[in-house]
Amino acid sequence: MILGIDHVVIAVRDLEAASSELPAGLGLEVVEGGRHLALGTRNALCWLGDSYLELLAVTDASLAARSWIGAPAIASLSGGGGVATWALASDDLAADVRRLRAQGSSLIGPLPGERLRPDGRAERWLLALLPELAPDRPPFLIEHLAGSPEWHPDARRDRDERRHAAGHVRLRRLEIPVDDPGSVARSYRTELGLRASAAAAAPAAATSADSAVVAVGVQSVVLRPASAPARHPVTIVLSSDVGSDRDVEMLGCRFVVERAEVG
């Protein structure tokens, strides 16, 4: 079953510099993730409960250009960086892929993935990918393997209790500018079995009548018309139990922090 938004991939040129921006600009702790040795990339992570922001840098351009995550990262960096793609969490990826492919999805997988952590241990998962990954295309699916260090019950409990300098923070919503929200919403339904609701059900931030809203667990994705000629970045909406509302642009994204009790 698809559970919700797992993580958002933000392509950056300088991983160390980017890792300092989230603490300085939003009070969010960033930890070193490790290297995707087969993909030509490395990352740092900002945990928000079991969801997270992934800062992704290219370490081997030739290898990355041929890899499933490196290619959208390079495409994002060619425009200055920002969200390259994002992922939905599954608790049974093989079953989800069988179900969705039977309904006409072009998902490929499950495929194994691995990241080598700084402590030498390997983080492992399963993926289901679509032929094209980009912010304005449907996301990929991921199932984290229970035996991996970051998905041990103790690690998950620590994350649930974690307080950033910004407080107890959770990922609530993505607002993604697309050329044709209706068409993209239909691709979400075809590829992932997710149905969009009308703009009337959208959060207040999605003001356009042409927007479409896709609910994924307790989170949501708002597909809104891209502004022409200027194209606004993807908006990442967070909730925090301390401070006041904030609206900050950094790392090629717009971050909105809403004051709310975090469960």
pLDDT band at 200 (very low <50, low <70, confident <90, very high): very low
Average pLDDT rounded to a whole number, residues 133-151: 95
The predicted model scores a pTM of 0.93
Please, what is the average pLDDT of the chain? 92
What pLDDT does 208 receive?
61
pLDDT band at 231 (very low <50, low <70, confident <90, very high): low
pLDDT band at 206 (very low <50, low <70, confident <90, very high): very low
Tell me the pLDDT tens digit for each residue of 82-118.
999 999 999 999 999 999 999 999 999 999 999 999 9
Name all domains of the chain by residue range, CATH numbers in brackets: 2-161 (3.10.180.10), 169-259 (3.10.180.10)
What pLDDT does 227 receive?
74
Q: Furthest-apart CA pair in the chain: how many Å?
A: 50
Give the DSSP letter of residue 233. Answer: P
Give the DSSP letter of residue 229. Answer: S
Where are the extended beta strands (E) located within 16-81?
A: 31-36, 41-48, 51-58
What pLDDT does 109 receive?
94
What is the chain's alpha carbon radius of gyration, rounded to the nearest angstrom? 17
Distance CA 187, CA 225 (A): 16
Partners of 259 in beta bridges: 240
CB 2 within 8 A of CB 194: yes
Name the token pair of 101: 């492919």
pLDDT band at 262 (very low <50, low <70, confident <90, very high): low
Name the token pair of 26: 């939003």
As a whole-number percent, the residues of the chain with pLDDT over 70 amount to 93
H or E segment and range at residue 178: strand 169-178
Distance CA 146, CA 200 (A): 39
Closest listed residue to residue 219, CA positions, set 175, 250, 156: 175
pLDDT band at 147 (very low <50, low <70, confident <90, very high): confident
Tell me the pLDDT tens digit for each residue of 49-79.
999 999 999 999 999 999 999 999 999 999 9
